[in-house]
Chains A and B, each alone.
Chain A
């Protein structure tokens, strides 16, 4: 039981490049989330998916797209990376009843 896994762990992009962050969970959770963490600002919600086939914007969705590929996988795509997207990105999934969220190990992304 791996919990929530994310790839890659580290990534450096040049401005304008694109990339997809992958996330998978093996706990049969319905809801999945993408957050970004910046110094002094806590974790802010980018997008979430309440169930397979649905996605909704969070607090800071601009510049990102998501895909809920199936119940296990939820990917985050940066179409044209900007230096303001330099951050640590976390994926999480939520228990169906108890509301606790379980987090992946995070991806440190640097955009130069």
Chain B
């Protein structure tokens, strides 16, 4: 069965600095997708970035980028120029086409210090 592991329950970063959140996963599938979701105090789940496993190029969305290491089964999220509004819980998630299910990690709570 597929699993997703986020080993950092909490992280902290200074405003304007860069922070990297870690995620590893385990799967035997070759075709899958990886996502990072943000959950602010409002509770709404917001998609931050996605990565298709067949693409070698790392995805980027403005200040958010990923380091996708397929052989190592690692999918980290880098937030550049951190802003106060980035403070939230971040979830890494795996989707495999064979199962039609999204599997979440346990989350990393990011604090941004002014």
Contacts and interface: CB of A to CB of B under 8 A. Distances in A.
Given A31-B100, A42-B91, A45-B102, A100 B44 contact: no
Contacts of B45: 90, 92, 103, 106
A90 B104 CA distance: 13
B75 interface: no
B106 A33 contact: no
Interface string A32-43: 010000001111
A101 B33 CA distance: 11
A105 B100 contact: no
A42 B105 contact: yes
A61 interface: no
B43 A88 contact: yes
Interface of A: 31, 33, 40-45, 48, 50, 58, 88, 90, 92, 94, 98-103, 105-106, 108
Interface of B: 9, 33, 35, 43-45, 47, 50, 91, 95, 97, 100-107
A43 B44 CA distance: 13
Given A40-B106, A41-B106, A99-B33, A58 B101 contact: yes
B104 A43 contact: yes
A79 B35 CA distance: 34
Contacts of A50: 100
A96 to B, nearest CB: 12
B43 A106 contact: yes
Nearest to B100: A50
Given A42-B106, A106-B43, A100 B101 contact: no
Contacts of B91: 42-43
Contact of B95 (A44, A88, A99): A99
Given A58-B101, A99-B95, A108-B43, 16 more contacts: A33-B101, A42-B91, A42-B104, A42-B107, A43-B104, A45-B101, A48-B100, A48-B101, A50-B100, A88-B43, A90-B45, A92-B45, A92-B102, A102-B47, A103-B44, A105-B44
